[in-house]
Amino acid sequence: MADISWELFHQQVQDCTLCSLYATATHKVPGQGDIHSPLMFIGEGPGQREDEEGIAFIGPAGQLLTKMLSAIYLPRDRVYICNIVKCRPPNNRVPLDEEMAACKLHLRMQVALIRPKVIVLLGSTALHATLGPDHYITRERGKWYERKGVWMMPTYHPSALLRDPLKKREAWEDMQSLRNRLIDLNLYPDIYQELTSDDI
């Protein structure tokens, strides 16, 4: 799709009044990163820092996400990062079903523009909104799902890792599984073909 569609997407998000979250948001947070990335991360919704700056995952959870990416040799600017909802829910509450449903229009357009090969769902909100409400993050993290040729893996949200560092071991397993999937699909060859098996 031509870049003009990205303009349309960003305009559509900026103009959006489909749910009431727009009224309390300081900035809309559409998402950012490499628009040609084969890998997309989807979180829940903007927190305070993201709302202040208009950029997804730049607060403490985002800093941890950046570290997790670099642990599998991925620079953050080589992936695309966004959220289920593009406006901050007041007091960081979980987005309501109707807010997620309204915002799906934007997410669908984003996925259609990026056409990722792999999607990582960060936390239960992203898992529920994408694969359905009868999925459980504790049970399904690290599992792979294929939907219409796209590989999807839920893992813990980085905020959950900050709250409970004991989850970090499982999160690291998930990141290794992600790296293996990227290697299997021959994505990021410039990064992974440079590494020897000792590195990974």
50 or 174: whose CB is closer to ligand URA?
50
Among 30, 33, 38, 46, binds ligand URA (CB under 6 A): 46
- SS3 readout for the chain: CCCHHHHHHHHHHHHCCCCHHHHCCCCCCCCEECCCCCEEEEECCCCHHHHHHCCCCCCHHHHHHHHHHHHCCCCHHHCEEEECCCCCCHHHCCCCHHHHHHHHHHHHHHHHHHCCCEEEEECHHHHHHHHCCCCCHHHHCCCCEEECCEEEEEECCHHHHHHCHHHHHHHHHHHHHHHHHHHHCCCCHHHHCCCCCCCC
Single out the residue of 30, 38, 62, 89 in contact with ligand URA (rule: CB under 6 A).
Answer: 62
* Residue 83 contacts ligand URA per CB under 6 A: yes
- Strand 118-122 to strand 150-155: parallel, antiparallel, or no bridges (unpaired)? parallel
Judged by CB under 6 A, the residue of 33, 38, 59, 95 near ligand URA is 59
Can residue 43 be called a binding residue for ligand URA (CB under 6 A)? yes
Under rule CB under 6 A, residue 89 binds ligand URA: no
Locate 80 and state its tokens.
């695309």
Q: Should residue 174 be labelled a site residue for ligand URA when binding is judged by CB under 6 A?
A: no
The reply to whether 102 sits near ligand URA by the rule CB under 6 A is: no
Q: Which is nearer to ligand URA, 62 or 154 (CB)?
A: 62
- CB 87, min distance to ligand URA, A: 11
Q: How far is the CB of 185 from ligand URA (least distance, A)?
A: 25
We find the least distance from the C-beta atom of residue 1 to ligand URA, in angstroms, to be 24
Enumerate binding residues for ligand URA (CB under 6 A): 43-47, 50, 56-57, 59, 61-62, 83, 159
